[in-house]
Amino acid sequence: MNSSPLLDRKPKSGTDSNHIAIWLLDPGRILPLAALAAELLPPETLHAVTVPRETRLRRLWEGRQVALRLLLADILNVEARDIRIGKEGQGKPFLPDYPDLHFSVSSSDGWWLAGISDGPIGVDLEVLRPFADLQVVAQSYFNPTELAHLNSAPDPVERLRCFYRFWTRKEALLKLKGQGISGLSALREREVQGVWLEELALQEGLSASLALPKAPARISRYTWRGGPAAGSRPQAVEVRVRPQSAWLSEVGEHEAERLRMQDSLFLPLELPTILDAFPPSGCFVDFGSGVGVMADAVAAARPEGMVHRYDGDSLAVEKSKELFGGRPNVRFGCRGIEQGPPEGFSGADAAVMHLVLMHSPDPIGLLREVKRWMKPGGILHVMEPDDRALAFDPLPEWIPELLELMERVQNFKGGSRRLGRDLPILLGNSGWDLLGMRENSLDPGVAVAAVSKVFLPVGEIYLNEARQLGIFQESAVRRLRSLVEELKIEKSALRKIRVPLFHAWAQVG
């Protein structure tokens, strides 16, 4: 098999999981690709479809077929017209000439989703559309646990999201296993075991899920610019990394030390309040725990309690085990919040989300999901930055421009770096009872060092992303990068810096 520029970009040793590439195209990108159908699609493929020509449905179908071949051709470094696609017994597509490359596709109302991997994969996509028979369909195909979650939804919007969340998971699982729609009934009778299911946060109005045999090391989402006029090769633009906590896998294992330092700076300010909510023999969960500094500190302070640390990035989980795997009261897991607690989990007395909401396109929905993990009366601690509260003395004139770039990149990926001050509103709107809120700021002397060793390296990461995404002028990115480097070297020019982190805690309402 030819070398794949996507699938070769895997994390360093320490995990044997796949790198999953997710491609999402909207109808505006799909429809123009239909112009290439006569050139790139085999005649037998064009003649097999019964959708009338010159209709929008036909053009969407042709555009999806072209998009898939362009994508596969780019990965395999072959001509799109030479891609042969076969189907197994129940319709699962495969590549007869390249059996080591696996893919799964899904479409809904013109939107198109493709998942590419070097192992079995299943994806499903649905546009959130209300329909009258939702409860009838749920009764027919959902198991009792799923029905309970659906029926407990607080409003019609959340109920619709809940329905499609479960539905897309089932469809993705069936595609992974190569089963047809008839397999849905069997999924009602039992919980799924031995697979990894992840809800993909794409954008508002869409629901999608990914099914794999095991947890991946990295999930990257892409789209491409341009249509047929741009040539026969898709111009890949990575727009979001999922799972949303997959920061370590995205920027490399060298990032672990910076993350560890970052967490250690604020730990003394946050830990006492967290321990007040954690009974000596209780259960604690660290969501999106990164390299595990917080979880280790809690485990050390409460040796009779049980500490669970979950992260959607399997490389971060492995690094955490390497650094803090010696404590008997710590459990590690690669799991996203949206997946819900694992089987047998009895609920948390206390939990923490540190710099997690900033990566979520739906922070209120994520906070609602956390409630599924908590015991009645359980307390959640949320810590988030708010770049609006950063203060420099003297203020380099380019810092506001850098902060604006970082926020634009985060918005484009899905999320915001400006949630800290809004935590009470977010918690209240998601059904939590606010217990307290404070602003933790580093000592000014420590803050100066933190900006050089933590904030500015993060700024460089965002600058690289801005360049890759093309959402900022290249000349501005180059200028800001040089100024960041200059300030890192001349950090003595900064006399006073205010680096706050907002900490709110709330109880299950």
Encode pLDDT of 90-112 as tens digits. 778 999 999 989 999 999 988 89
**Domain range spanning residue 50?**
19-242
d(CA 190, CA 477): 52
Length of the chain: 509
Q: Which of 242, 263, 286 is the last residue of a domain?
A: 242
Q: 257 and 336: one domain?
A: yes
**Orientation angle between helical segments 255-276 and 293-301, nearest 10 degrees:** 40
For residue 3, give the amino acid letter: S
Q: 238 and 255: one domain?
A: no
Q: 377 and 424: one domain?
A: yes
Q: Which of 217, 242, 267 is the last residue of a domain?
A: 242
**Domain containing 181 — which CATH number?**
3.90.470.20
Tell whether the model's pLDDT for residue 197 goes beyond 60. yes
d(CA 5, CA 235): 13
Q: 263 and 219: one domain?
A: no
0.85 exceeded by pTM: no
Q: 59 and 180: one domain?
A: yes
CB 174 within 8 A of CB 131: no
pLDDT, tens only, 444-458 = 777 777 777 777 778
Q: 201 and 235: one domain?
A: yes
Q: 257 and 194: one domain?
A: no
**Domain containing 301 — which CATH number?**
3.40.50.150
CB 454 within 8 A of CB 265: yes
Tell whether the model's pLDDT for residue 393 goes beyond 90. no
Q: 120 and 64: one domain?
A: yes
pLDDT, tens only, 274-306 = 898 888 899 999 998 777 888 888 999 999 999
Longest dimension (CA), the chain: 72
Instruction: Please report whether residue 353 resides in a domain.
Output: yes
What mean pLDDT value characterizes the chain?
Answer: 79
Tell whether the model's pLDDT for residue 476 goes beyond 50. yes
Say how many Å lie between the first and final Cα of the chain, rounded.
55
The 3-state DSSP class for residue 489 equals: helix
How many structural domains does the chain have?
2
Instruction: Please report whether residue 278 resides in a domain.
Output: yes
pLDDT, residue 116, reads 92
Q: 237 and 258: one domain?
A: no
pLDDT bucket at 495, cuts 50 / 70 / 90: low
Q: Which of 207, 242, 277 is the last residue of a domain?
A: 242
Instruction: Please report whether residue 231 resides in a domain.
Output: yes
Instruction: Please report whether residue 383 resides in a domain.
Output: yes
Residue indicated by tokens 């006492």: 272
Identify the H or E element spanning 128: none
pLDDT bucket at 189, cuts 50 / 70 / 90: very low
Helix segments in 110-217, DSSP class H: 134-141, 144-151, 156-177, 184-188
CB 504 within 8 A of CB 385: no
Instruction: Please report whether residue 11 resides in a domain.
Output: no
